[in-house]
Amino acid sequence: MPVLSLISTDPETARELIDRPRESAAPESLLALYGGEPALAADWAASETQEDVWMTRATAPSIETTAIEITSADELSSFYRKHQMRFWASAMHQFGHCFGFRGHSGELVSAAAVNFIIPEVAYAQIGGVVTDPAWRGKGFARSCVLAVIDSLYRSGIAECGLFARCDDGRLLEFYCSLGFRERGRFHFIGL
């Protein structure tokens, strides 16, 4: 099933943009729209030259992880800004399913979250998987992603997906080790 995400810096433009693809998209296509999110539209030049892989897997109960739920949108947004995580907006926190780890002094050191949920097809998009470089190699990202998958499963979401850079072999291997499989490739296109 084709999925089209539209990102606009202003809500009026977003409403105008959504009508164009809806006219030409296949009837079974799903549209995800973020209007009025300047943070999401800031890096188009870099994104348009990058090819990414869309990977999916069924959700399932996972092994117990020690990842904790992140309840503060501000804390998560601050962590993502610090680590230059693109394509995250605090409005995405409304979907829930945000998990992470804290360091010795209580600061967030690793996180994974959901970018959007499409309840009509029980699908969720995982994003924002990042670990502070000083804390890498301890399995935190793996535990965070598994906690998100488990949380999605428990809320009735049957399938989840994510995007990863095609040119990052280690990252693709990591997601494959978690059960994700390639479903397609894509480029961002600025309109």
What is the domain range of residue 37? 1-42
Is there a single domain that holds both residue 31 and residue 63? no
Q: With contact defined as beta carbons under 8 Å apart, do 100 and 80 qualify?
A: no
The rounded mean pLDDT for the chain is: 77
Rounded average pLDDT over 135-163: 93
What percentage of the chain exceeds 90 in pLDDT? 37
- How many Cβ atoms from other residues are within 10 Å of residue 71's Cβ? 10
| Mean pLDDT score, 162-181 | 88
| pLDDT tens-digit series, residues 84-131 | 876 667 777 888 899 999 999 999 999 999 988 888 889 998 988 999
- Residue at 32 is within a domain: yes
Same domain for 111 and 78?
A: yes
Range 24-48 average pLDDT = 47
With contact defined as beta carbons under 8 Å apart, do 38 and 9 qualify?
yes
The span from the CA of 55 to the CA of 36, in Å, is: 27
Strands 3-7 and 159-165: unpaired
Q: How confident is the model at residue 140 (pLDDT cuts 50, 70, 90)?
A: very high
pLDDT at 39: 44
Look at residue 191 and tell me if it is in a domain: no
Rounded mean pLDDT, 28-33: 47
Q: List the structure tokens of 59.
A: 């959700």
Tell the burial category of 112 from Cβ atoms under 10 Å away from its Cβ (0-12, 13-18, 19+): buried
Query: What is the H or E stretch that residue 78 is in?
Result: helix 73-82
The domain that holds 137 is classified in CATH as 3.40.630.30
- Closest to 1 measured CA to CA, from 166, 176, 127, 122: 122
The 68-69 sheet, strands edge to edge: 68-69, 99-102, 108-118, 123-131, 159-165, 51-58, 181-187
pLDDT: is 145 or 32 the higher one? 145
Residues pairing with 129 in the sheet: none
- For residue 117, the model assigns a pLDDT of 87
**Confidence class of residue 41 from pLDDT cuts 50, 70 and 90?**
very low
Both 24 and 106 in one domain: the answer is: no
In a domain, 138, yes or no: yes
> Quick one: 17 and 100 in the same domain?
no
Choice among 5-9, 30-34, 103-107, 177-181 with the minimum mean pLDDT: 30-34
Q: Which of 38-47, 52-61, 109-118, 140-149 has the lowest mean pLDDT?
A: 38-47
